[in-house]
Chains A and B, each alone.
Chain A
Amino acid sequence: MSENTLESESIEIIREAIAGAANPVMLYSIGKDSSVMLHLARKAFFPARPPFPLLHVDTTWKFKEMYSHRERMVAESGMQLLTYTNHAGQAAGINPFSHGSSYFTDVMKTEALKQALDLHGFDVVFGGARRDEEKSRAKERIFSFRSAGHRWDPRKQRPELWNLYNTRIREGESLRVFPLSNWTEHDIWQYIQREQIPIVPLYFAKERPVVLRGGTWILVDDDRLPLEPGEAPQMRMVRFRTLGCYPLTGAIESSAATLEEIIAETFLARVSERQGRLIDSDQPGSMEKKKQEGYF
């Protein structure tokens, strides 16, 4: 299985999901994996546009460059974009600083996602998760069954043999479909290079204003980032391996400013990409718990 085969497998998955769906949607988080997934969806249905909208669950704390990239890709693909923010959470002033990353993620991502899915009644939801990202993801099905209330029960997942996906569900139940399940971080980068897929410029190294917190470089993306006493932004050559909410996403020091350099750096990397995500390590088995509650 080469990249071509990976690509073909993902396209097959996307088509199969659509054939069984009544009201499908693609989660679009603007990151590199979402970019690849969107590209595959466009390929799968060419010359038609993919027969579903994109959904961005917006915590309002994304990097500025992510929002502009989102607008660019929506225009280029001609697809419909739905955005959703948990306004109750926002009105309550939930933010990553005073409430902690765990609570913030729960309210502004997990809860918001569930609210958005309930609001539109989506039955099939594409996500860009990969099995190589985290231990509990390694056991995730490609078609992941969620009971009413979006709960993921690891003991109730349907056996998944060959490429025969069971897409039958009852009202209120849903399927999360992960077309990139069998891709690794390396595959993603190589594919972005081969297909010349546009990605957010934050992935490329550049001098940016950052502060050092808990051993991680945090970008001072706007004036909402409260500076601690004695803390002053400094210019550093940094880039991001993964993108999320800017106060929760650590940059790495790097000089990799081209795809070739990023790939070279990724192959030599001794730290997994999720380490830049502060939400994975805040409690034991934390990703597994979040998934059971409905996080992607």
Chain B
Amino acid sequence: MGDRPTLRFITCGSVDDGKSTLIGRLLHESKNIFDDQMTALEKDSRQYGTQGDRMDLALLVDGLQAEREQGITIDVAYRFFATPKRRFIVADTPGHEQYTRNMATGASTAELAIILIDARKGVLTQTRRHTRIVAMMGIRHVVLAINKMDLMAFDESVFNEIVEVFTSFAAGFNFSTLHAIPLSALEGDNVFARSARTPWYSGPTLLDYLDSVVTIPEVTSRPFRMSVQWVNRPNLDFRGFLGRVSQGVVRKGDRVCVLPSGVTSKVKGIVVWQGELEHVQAGESITLTLEDEVDVSRGDLLVSVEAPPQVADQFEAHLLWMSEHPLVAGRPYLIKLHSKEVSGTVSSIKFREDVNTGARVAAKSLGLNEIGVVNLSLAQRVAFEPYVTNRALGGFILIDKLSLETVGAGMIDFALRRATNLYWQALEVNQQARSELMHQRPCCIWFTGLSGAGKSTIANLLEQRLHAEGRHTFILDGDNIRHGLSRDLGFTEADRVENIRRIAEVAKLMTDAGLIVLVSFISPFRSERKMARELFADGNFIEVFVDASLEECERRDTKGLYAKARRGELQNFTGIDSSYEAPEKAEVHLRSGAESAEACMERILLKMR
């Protein structure tokens, strides 16, 4: 049984379709359930079972206690069983719309999907949703399991009708294989043993089919690709590049190219445990050594020189949003693509795709479990392949920079040509030259705090002082900018993010020009202030938190805005119906209620020197 191939598949359907029962039966009948587990099952069946005196096979797979009590499957569970021919890994995922992300997770590593249909109900909205997700995640092989045929008296016409409806719906997805099987998971018909009750069905049983379907992707005949995970330097004479071959074959002596740098070299050795190999193919984890001392680091791609993949920094991609907090275009996220981690933003949302109908809907943001097509813009160029060509080099995740949670999963469709046409203008007279002429160190002083906290007052005082000292300064003030540069923007979260992005970029240009820039903006969100900070060199960004309580600001209400907001005449007002995220590590923390504006200014001056 040594080198049996493994087939990874996902089961799509809801509890009511008999999904857990089907998996339970596969495990049970392939003798992957031990006696003590059966005893536990008998006990559980009496306590939680839904099958009367019969054993409830579904309880074998509904693992967590909360799930057992509520009778729902809320997460992805992985199950294992084997036949003499193959090992199987089953991703068991929930079927309801609120668990779309769990299903996508299970589908991301699967090669085949079993889509369950309740014969009494036929093709439902949820069937279409499951099929759409399966196709989007790149699964090319589908088994249509038409279950509960026992409740429809194993009627051939019921089966045929469902198959016909499904086949015409699925035609657009271009699955490589699609096979339908009539079965009863509860009673076992056509799961393992051929059923005597479906004489009209001549195809294989479910297990026979899983045992024989050919799903091996064509990854060895295509050009060599390996993402470098780690560089190993045990001593001065050895420099090995560690990774897992994601496509093709590599041989000793092959010419390879390092991307994105484009430098080429030759494979010196393929090092494995206590030895070397002549060649390896896709799927193997190896250590490569190269003939030349070339610069290679984690996240670089080693590829065949004959057919290198593209390199780009702007893409169109499908994106599934997985966080309670919606996607905001323009906000920077960490993006992990193969072993490369890079900062990037969703520059625009082209449309949202209704997961039930496939309809394209205009959207400004994406919420939990929503799918959209977006433009993605990265801070660096990366080597990639479109997801349809290579899942390993075209799939990516988005990580929130503050919560560090995984908030999105994406699939690159193609690179936007803009990336190759846009070059950064190299400038001869640089920031240093300009600032030397002005005899000052340019920097950005970023004031943040509630409306009315005293930001503008302190910024004005500071500018007067600096000006008197002969410094070249400029104030970017929230209200003034909104009258000009940002006059097209409102106060929704997405617009606020864009507003801050513009201000930060303007401030950056001004410091490049040698100026000391004072930015006075509420700037309520941590992630945008972080984005602004990252534009500047260390030490050139001074965040000043002008801290005054909401009560204090509301009492002052110099512009009468709080009163308006309280009357409901002003929407999305920070502190009232929009949140303010206080800085955690501001360079200067001023308590404007307790200190005079002059004292506050002095403290900033101290920090600048």
Q: What residues of chain A have their CB less than 8 Å away from a CB belonging to chain B? A: 1-9, 11-12, 15-16, 18-19, 42-49, 131-132, 135-136, 138-139, 154-155, 157-164, 166, 168-170, 181-182, 184, 186-187, 190, 194, 267, 269-272, 275, 284-285, 288
Asked if A19 contacts B339 (CB within 8 A), the reply is yes
Q: A46-B273, A271-B34 are in contact. Are A194 and B102 (CB under 8 A)?
A: no
Contact status A161-B409, CB under 8 Å: yes
Residues in chain B near residue A135, CB distance under 8 A: 61, 63-64
List 9 other contacts, CB 8 Å, given A138-B78, A138-B79, A184-B82: A6-B6, A15-B229, A43-B272, A136-B64, A154-B64, A164-B396, A182-B78, A182-B80, A285-B64
Question: CB < 8 Å: which of A5, A154, A272 contacts B75?
Answer: A154
Please give the distance in Å from A16's CB to the nearest CB on chain B. Answer: 6
Chain B nearest CB: distance from A143 CB in Å? 10
Q: A2-B5, A159-B322, A272-B36 are in contact. Are A47 and B234 (CB under 8 A)?
A: yes
Nearest A residue to B65 via CB reads: A285
Please determine whether A272 and B6 come into contact, CB atoms closer than 8 angstroms: no
Contacts of A6 in B (CB 8 A): 6
Instruction: Count A-B pairs with CB separation below 8 Å.
Output: 165
Q: Is the CB–CB distance between B284 and A8 below 8 Å?
A: yes
Contact A12 B244, beta carbon cutoff 8 Å: yes
Q: Which residues of A contact B409 (CB under 8 A)?
A: 159, 161
**Contacting pair B35 A46 (CB below 8 A):** no
Contact between A138 and B77, CB atoms less than 8 A apart? yes
| Chain B contacts for A15, CB-based, 8 A | 229-230, 242-243, 285
The contact of B4 among A2, A44, A160, by CB within 8 Å, is: A2
Give Cα A211 to B392, complex, Å.
54
Q: Which 5 residue pairs across A and B have the least CB separation, nearest first?
A: A1-B6, A48-B234, A11-B285, A272-B34, A135-B63
| B contacts with A, residue count (CB < 8 A) | 68
In this complex, what residue of A is CB-closest to B6?
A: A1
Given contacts A8-B244, A8-B284, A136-B64, contact A164 B397 (CB under 8 A): yes
| B287 at interface by CB-CB < 8 Å | yes
| Chain B hits for A275, CB < 8 A | 34, 36
For the complex formed, measure the closest distance between the CB of A251 and the CB atoms of chain B, giving whole angstroms: 16
Write the nearest CB–CB distance from B368 to chain A, whole angstroms.
11
A131 / chain B contacts, CB cutoff of 8 Å: 78, 80
A126–B233 Cα gap in the complex (Å)?
22
Residues of A within 8 A of B105 (CB): 159-161
**Is A157 in contact with B75, judged by CB distance below 8 angstroms?**
yes
Stretch of B148-156, B399-407, B457-465 that contacts chain A: B399-407
B1 interface residue (CB < 8 Å to A): yes
Contact call B244/A11, Cβ cutoff below 8 A: yes
Is B101's beta carbon under 8 Å from chain A? Answer: yes
Interface string of B56-96 (1 = CB under 8 A from A): 00000101111000000011111110100001010010000
Quick check: A45 and B232 within 8 Å, CB to CB?
yes
Determine how close the nearest CB of chain B comes to the CB of A198; give it in whole angstroms.
Answer: 15
Q: How far, in whole Å, are A6 and B337 apart by their CA atoms in the complex?
A: 22
A267 to B1, CA, bound (A): 11
Query: For the complex, is B348 an interface residue (Cβ under 8 Å from A)?
Result: no
Most buried by B among A16, A169, A181, A267: A16
Bound complex: CA A50 to CA B3 (Å): 27
Most chain A beta carbons < 10 A, residue from B5, B77, B78, B285: B285
User: In the complex, what residues of B have CB within 8 A of residue A170's CB?
Assistant: 404
Alpha-carbon distance between A19 and B63 when the two chains are bound, in angstroms: 32
In the complex, which of the residues B35, B273, B406 contacts A158, with contact meaning CB atoms closer than 8 Å?
Answer: B406
